Amino acid sequence: MTLALTACGGDEDPDAGTNGVGKLTAAGIEKKAKSAAESADAVRLSGTVVTDGQTYKLNMSLKEAGGTGSVSSESGGTFELLRVEDELFLKAGTDFWTHADGKGGEGGASAEPSEADAEAAKKLDDKFVKVPEDDPSYKQFRGFTDKSLLLDGLLGLHGKLGKGDRTEIGGVRTIEVNGSEGAGGSLNVSLEGTPYPLRLARAGDAGTLALSDWGKDFPLKAPSKGETVDYGSTLPST
């Protein structure tokens, strides 16, 4: 009898030793993952996001009080962002500050920066520039440092929800939940411990993100005055 039972034991329970979310419907798994993400104190996002035709590479650590990390864009280079409560700071090299924006000159070609602009950019190299709340760029840059805003905008799947394959991410067992068989995006949710989302593929090839360090706190401190350039209520137009 023992041999017979062993021979019939090929159909092992795939949810044995897991947190049990794999037994839920696709909608139930998505709901659990979103709830876990919302309740976490902190998270790290790394990967790519495509929005308005622009591809950004993110490596951001986020919590309710703010965030810190780097953002790279195809057209504007790499810059660092730091937000502490409502204070937002941006740090970049000289190339970022002198980068042509494609708006000037004939046929849309941008003129080279003036000598005065180039000199001003050198003074900003490796300095934190405080972004005024009234400046048009404040809302855009702040969005990269806002945990709730980013997760709300990223974690939603589109179309009919379904369950995909079980796989491992960083040694952690996960189950995939997707929209429209993947065309509406997919989310890999942890089957171990808290059901955090660990990887997100956005609908329409709009980027792929790894989500890690859930609940792990990190230091967040405004730069000193010696490290900061403050232009007041509005950044210079040049």
pLDDT in tens, 16-62: 999 999 999 999 999 999 999 999 999 999 999 998 888 999 999 99
Asked whether residue 123 is assigned to any structural domain, the reply reads yes
Structure confidence by residue, pLDDT tens digits, 96-148: 877 655 444 444 445 576 776 777 777 787 899 999 999 888 998 999 999 99
Q: What is the pLDDT of residue 11?
A: 62
CA 149 → CA 63, 68, 103, 142, distances in Å? Answer: 11, 15, 30, 10
Count of domains observed in the chain = 1
Q: Is residue 5 part of a domain?
A: no
Query: Does residue 95 fall inside a structural domain?
Result: yes
Residue 129 in domain: yes
Structural domain including 118 reads 17-230
Q: Which of 207, 208, 210, 168 is nearest to 190 (CA)?
A: 168
Question: Mean of the per-residue pLDDT values for the chain?
Answer: 87
Instruction: Report if residue 76 sits inside a domain.
Output: yes
Q: SS3 for 31? A: helix
Q: How confident is the model at residue 14 (pLDDT cuts 50, 70, 90)?
A: confident
What is this structure's pTM?
0.83
Sign of CA dihedral 55, 197, 69, 63: positive
> How far apart are alpha carbons 13 and 36 in whole angstroms?
24
Instruction: Give yes or no for residue 7 having a pLDDT over 70.
Output: no
Which CATH number do you get for residue 203? 2.50.20.20
152-158: average pLDDT: 89
On whether residue 189 sits in a domain, the answer given is yes
- Residue 2 covered by a domain: no
Does some domain include residue 144? yes
